[in-house]
């Protein structure tokens, strides 16, 4: 984003990105939400939502997988290995309650779990290794999806997958990739393209638009 403020604490529509995100999860019926916060984070405790009875705090790690594992281990103190857990990016504030419920209902009886995802509709280009990137080739987009969050797996399976990936140094970009590295095939559940990840400054205006549109449709 190019600024000093971490993305999850940027403001739009009167609240931080993180507050919008957590509120969406709470509205979907989440009973317990573990929020991974880095050791040097001095903003989280200032948010009123940090004191919500359904939230617990865990210290995040150096990587995504270590932060998620920290939350999973904390939840396993009071939950069963067979209980489901959803993992969601803090900077995806536009996930709809309908999509969270759809994911939960679609995977309730699934043996592995799965994730929200969106079909790729753009033409995909692979770049060359030149100093100024050029098109090396076009990639057939048939069957290609963009991974979104939440991603939903059983606590025990996700814990083992994350620990294995960390121990073996397997590159993990999301929870599904950790599960895939164990030889499993997560289910894709089609979600809304509104579920954007805040990455660039213009994304805040887009998120404000998407949220206002979702609220109007309720």
Confidence of residue 118 (pLDDT cuts 50, 70, 90): very high
Confidence of residue 113 (pLDDT cuts 50, 70, 90): very high
CA–CA distance from 67 to each of 37, 85, 92, 184, 196 (Å)?
8, 14, 17, 22, 21
Across residues 192-218, what is the average pLDDT? 88
* Beta strand residue intervals within 94-144, DSSP E: 113-119, 124-127, 135-139
The radius of gyration computed from the CA coordinates of the chain, to the nearest angstrom, equals 18
To the question of domain 7-217 being in CATH 3.50.50.60, the answer is no
Lowest mean pLDDT among 28-32, 166-170, 177-181, 214-218: 214-218
CA-closest candidate to residue 179, choices 197, 152, 204: 152
Extract the tokens encoding 37: 């916060």
152, 114 Cβ separation under 8 angstroms: yes
Structure confidence at residue 2 (pLDDT): 65
Q: Domain ranges for the chain, please list them.
A: 7-217
Per-residue DSSP letter, 123 = P
Lowest mean pLDDT among 38-42, 95-99, 140-144: 38-42
- Other beta carbons within 10 angstroms of residue 81's beta carbon come to 12
- Give residue for tokens 């939950």: 79
What is the C-alpha separation between 60 and 74, in angstroms, rounded? 12
Peptide bond into 150 cis (omega under 30): yes
What is the C-alpha separation between 96 and 86, in angstroms, rounded? 14
- Give residue for tokens 């579920």: 195
Extract the tokens encoding 141: 């987009």
- Give residue for tokens 């705090």: 57
Terminal-to-terminal C-alpha distance of the chain? 31
Per-residue pLDDT tens digits for 144-197:
999 999 999 999 999 999 999 999 999 899 999 999 999 999 999 999 999 999
CA-closest candidate to residue 188, choices 88, 119, 94: 119
What is the C-alpha separation between 146 and 195, in angstroms, rounded? 11
């Amino acid at each position: 984003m190019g600024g000093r403020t971490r993305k999850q604490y940027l403001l739009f529509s009167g609240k931080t990105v993180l507050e919008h995100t957590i509120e969406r999860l709470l509205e979907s019926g989440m009973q317990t939400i573990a929020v991974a916060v880095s050791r040097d984070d001095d903003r989280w405790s200032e948010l009123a939502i940090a004191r919500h009875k359904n939230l617990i705090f865990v210290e995040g790690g150096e990587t995504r997988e270590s932060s998620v594992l920290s939350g999973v281990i904390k939840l396993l103190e009071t939950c069963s290995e067979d209980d489901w857990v959803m993992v969601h990016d803090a900077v995806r504030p536009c996930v709809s309650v309908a999509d969270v419920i759809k994911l939960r209902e679609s995977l309730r009886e699934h043996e592995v779990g799965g994730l929200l995802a969106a079909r790729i509709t753009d033409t995909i280009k692979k770049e060359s290794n030149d100093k100024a990137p050029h098109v090396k080739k076009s990639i057939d987009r048939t069957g290609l999806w963009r991974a979104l969050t939440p991603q939903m797996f059983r606590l025990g399976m996700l814990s083992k997958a994350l620990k294995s990936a960390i121990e073996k140094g397997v590159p993990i970009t999301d929870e599904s990739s950790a599960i895939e590295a164990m030889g499993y095939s997560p289910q894709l559940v089609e979600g809304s393209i509104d579920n954007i990840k805040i990455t660039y400054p213009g994304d805040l205006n887009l998120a404000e638009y998407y949220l206002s549109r979702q609220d109007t449709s309720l």
